Amino acid sequence: MKIKNNFKKWSIIFLTLLSVFSMEAQENTSKKPLLIEEQGSFAVGGTIITNPGTFNPLKPTPEGQTFRGDHAYVFYQIPAKAKKLPLVMWHGIGQFSKTWETTPDGREGYQNIFLRRNFPVYILDQPRRGNAGRSTVSSTIEPVPDEQQWFNVFRVGVWPKYFDNVQFARDSATLNQYFRSMTPNIGTIDINVTTNAASALFEKIGPAILVTHSHSGGMGWITAVKNQNVKAIVSYEPGSGFIFPAGEVPQPIASSAGALEASSVPMEDFMKLTKIPIIIYYGDNIPEKPSDNSGADGWRARLQMARLWRDAVNKHGGDVTVVHLPEAGMKGNTHFPFSDLNNIEVADLMSKWLKDKKLDQ
Amino acid sequence: MKIKNNFKKWSIIFLTLLSVFSMEAQENTSKKPLLIEEQGSFAVGGTIITNPGTFNPLKPTPEGQTFRGDHAYVFYQIPAKAKKLPLVMWHGIGQFSKTWETTPDGREGYQNIFLRRNFPVYILDQPRRGNAGRSTVSSTIEPVPDEQQWFNVFRVGVWPKYFDNVQFARDSATLNQYFRSMTPNIGTIDINVTTNAASALFEKIGPAILVTHSHSGGMGWITAVKNQNVKAIVSYEPGSGFIFPAGEVPQPIASSAGALEASSVPMEDFMKLTKIPIIIYYGDNIPEKPSDNSGADGWRARLQMARLWRDAVNKHGGDVTVVHLPEAGMKGNTHFPFSDLNNIEVADLMSKWLKDKKLDQ
């Protein structure tokens, strides 16, 4: 094994030199190959239904059979020279792992961007979504036309008009990929089921950084309460599920999308959120005053609630930052900043924060 | 750009040497990193439902909105020094892209194995399955306990007993991953919808080799009839959908799983299947004589039908090979030879065939 080890050492030295040289020579054009030490997939968490009776292999009926469901499905890649803390990326409402992959206009998404920055990347489909479709509850799924509504809610524009400054390619092929990046719930979203599966993932892989989007924002706070392997959270446009200590829950915030309510958790649970660094980003084209465009107006309420939540966590000793991207000089971002046209700059902001918090060792 | 090109040339030369040396030194332990030139995902094919009426952004209803569905979802990786013809891997019944990823017991599946052999690998979720869940038809999905039945149909054993020689790890964690690799249909399987999407993929990526499993076997023949970019087919345990020229359709083959029927296509379509090399593999523990174990007995009929089909295609000038793995000296394979314990040897057989047919250039 001596020869093998020596060889390995030399390979690593050379590949390091190679990648340094490559960065210089190619001026970071993102064109160099990804060097993946390991990649694969697995199911994690979930439950088992055991049907009473006896299974007869010669005349099978559901009697005496089992059904596993409500797990999450995870695809992971570990790059060479990997950083210590992996990124776990969790999609939002109506979405699946695609959120972090190729952008609708065909550029690299967060999966590749952060592999290139040497983070192990775990991408999950939450229970009852995408590749984690085996659900323990029954459901009926109807093809209800809804794309124009998502165009508005995701703040690409007000259909059929794009926002003037929007960081979104305006060709029809892009829109086609964008809308086909949705997939239905197979059974209701059960917050306990989804956060149990996410927590099981952190149990399996150990300390890691959780990256959430939209609906997984609120589920992310709960996952961090459930599992102390969540060492930090980067949350893009958390949509609901802000949790406060009993007695400190703010009034619901009205918007034309409906009232946004927060909920309460025991102080002991809340305090766990003060132990880890958390950053929250919101994009552009969020109205400053109440608007009758409910698609956009909901985000005004959510941004406002996120700031109240930041203040509550920080008052108890936490480390929450809320960045409204236009205030940081980044204009035109939609509900999906990580796949917008300027997603490299959006990723740079995140990288800087990870570095500041020493999460990129 | 001169420097960059020279650099690239030297890198390639070095990496080639490195990989040759690495193979020697590491004795093919599959531990060297994957060098991925490009990876990403996209939706392909599908249709659009356009709802009549006018969309009102301030008071949205389904009126005037659209719904895109019935596309396939594809994740692809292109390794360094890629071979010319990519492999397109298509899962079977109740399965999704996971089929080709990490095996139930945690080893590398066909995705990694063939990336290591320098093939671009495209893995698809057929329309209405897994990540391609946006279906244009409504459906009701129930959690019906069925795992013991699949254990039998997939020829792991006769529940709860494993086949004596089975190439399947016998721990409960493996079985757990195995059963969680299933996901339901979201709407009926429509052969026209699935093969149109698969054909759209071959239209997009150009000439490639189709690798099918079980239910996608029959859909694979149809895809090859639809699209001449299908340059070869490797089919693991095709389950149904054997197509013959009108007038040459054999009698249904009886089994305790029900009668296996073949169907007819116009001679002109059938003849397209004589223009490409095709190989079909079946695993072990298929009864030789009719058996009352319907889980296994169905495969006796399918193997027999595959041989009739081979004879029909070859009679018309085709190049179809049927390999019953035990006859080739490989024992104990289940319905999933490509993820069985001996999957490297199973892949070696496939590689040898690809080489013989000059499909690995």
Do A123 and A235 have their domain in common? yes
Segment A144-164, tens digit of pLDDT: 999 999 999 999 999 999 999
Under the banding of pLDDT at 50, 70 and 90, the label for residue B14 is: very low
Q: Is the pLDDT of residue B230 over 70?
A: yes
Residues B3, B62: one domain?
no
Say yes or no for a CB contact (<8 Å) between B7 and A18: no
| Averaged pLDDT, A338-354 | 98
**Would you say residue A268 lies in a domain?**
yes
Q: Are residues A47 and A86 in the same domain?
A: yes
Q: How confident is the model at residue B225 (pLDDT cuts 50, 70, 90)?
A: very high
Judge contact between A358 and A276, C-beta under 8 A. no
On the question of pLDDT at B21 being above 70, the answer is no
Nearest chain B CA: its distance from A270 CA (Å): 33
The 10 Å CB-count burial string (b at 16+, else e) for B5-27 is eebbeebeeebeebbeebeebbe
* Position B79 pLDDT exceeds 90: yes
Question: Chain A interface, mutation test: which of B18, B114, B129, B131, most A Cβ atoms within 10 Å?
Answer: B131
> Is the pLDDT score of A50 beyond 90?
yes
Residues B133 and B11 in one domain: no
Best probe of the A interface among B2, B11, B14, B68, by most A CBs < 10 A, is B68
Same-domain pairing of B19 and B64: no
**Same domain flag for B6 and B146:** no
Q: By C-alpha distance, which of B163, B182, B172 is closest to B125?
A: B182
Query: Smallest Cβ distance to B148: which of A46, A65, A140?
Result: A65
Residue B237 belongs to some domain of the structure: yes
- Summarised one tens digit per residue, pLDDT across range B33-61 is 999 999 999 999 999 999 999 999 999 99
- Asked whether the beta carbons of residue A57 and residue B295 sit closer than 8 angstroms, the reply is yes
Residue B66 within any structural domain of the chain:
yes
Is residue A361, in this structure, part of any structural domain at all?
no
Is B7 found in the same domain as B137? no
**A137 and A191 part of one domain:** yes
Asked whether residue B361 is domain-assigned, the answer is no
Contact at CB, B147 and A181, closer than 8 angstroms:
no
- Point out the residue among B14, B33, B67 whose CB comes nearest to the CB of A144: B67
Query: With 0-12 CB in 10 A as exposed, 13-18 as middle and 19+ as buried, what is B38?
Result: middle
Which structural domain, as residue segments, surrounds residue A26? Answer: 1-33
- Asked whether residue A82 falls in the same domain as residue A225, the answer is yes
Say if residue A340's pLDDT is above 60. Answer: yes
The CATH number of whichever domain residue B54 belongs to comes to 3.40.50.1820
pLDDT at A202 over 90: yes
**Yes or no, beta carbons of B141 and A141 under 8 Å apart:** yes
A341: phi then psi, degrees, rounded to nearest 5: -55, -30
Whether residue B65 and residue A132 make contact (CB cut-off 8 A), yes or no, is no
How many angstroms separate the first and last alpha carbons of chain A?
A: 30
Q: Is B15 a domain residue?
A: yes
Which residues from B are below 8 Å from A10, CB to CB? none
Inspect the interface and report whether the beta carbons of A67 and B26 lie closer than 8 Å. Answer: no
* Separation in Å, CA of B24 to nearest CA in chain A: 10
| B144 with A39: Cβ contact below 8 A | no
Question: ipTM score here?
Answer: 0.91
> Residue B221: what pLDDT?
98
| pLDDT over 80 at A14, yes or no | no
Closest residue, chain A, to B137 (C-alpha): A143
Looking at the 3D structure of chain B, how many domains does it have? Answer: 2
Alpha-helical regions (H) of B50-190: 110-116, 147-153, 172-179
| Mutant choice from A148, A178, A185, A255 vs B, greatest count of B C-beta within 10 A | A148
Q: Do B140 and A138 touch (CB under 8 A)?
A: yes
Q: Which residues of A touch B99 (CB under 8 A)?
A: none
Identify whether residues B15 and B129 lie together within a single domain.
no
Residues in chain B: 361
- Asked whether residue A123 is assigned to any structural domain, the reply reads yes
Of B101, B133, B141, the CB nearest to A130: B133
Residues B12 and B128 in one domain: no
**What tokens does B1 get?**
């750009």
Domain annotation covers residue B95: yes
> pLDDT tens digits, residue range A255-288?
999 999 999 999 999 999 999 999 999 999 999 9
Is the per-residue pLDDT at A103 higher than 70?
yes
Are A235 and A203 in the same domain? yes
Cis geometry, peptide bond prior to residue A160 (ω within 30 degrees of 0): yes
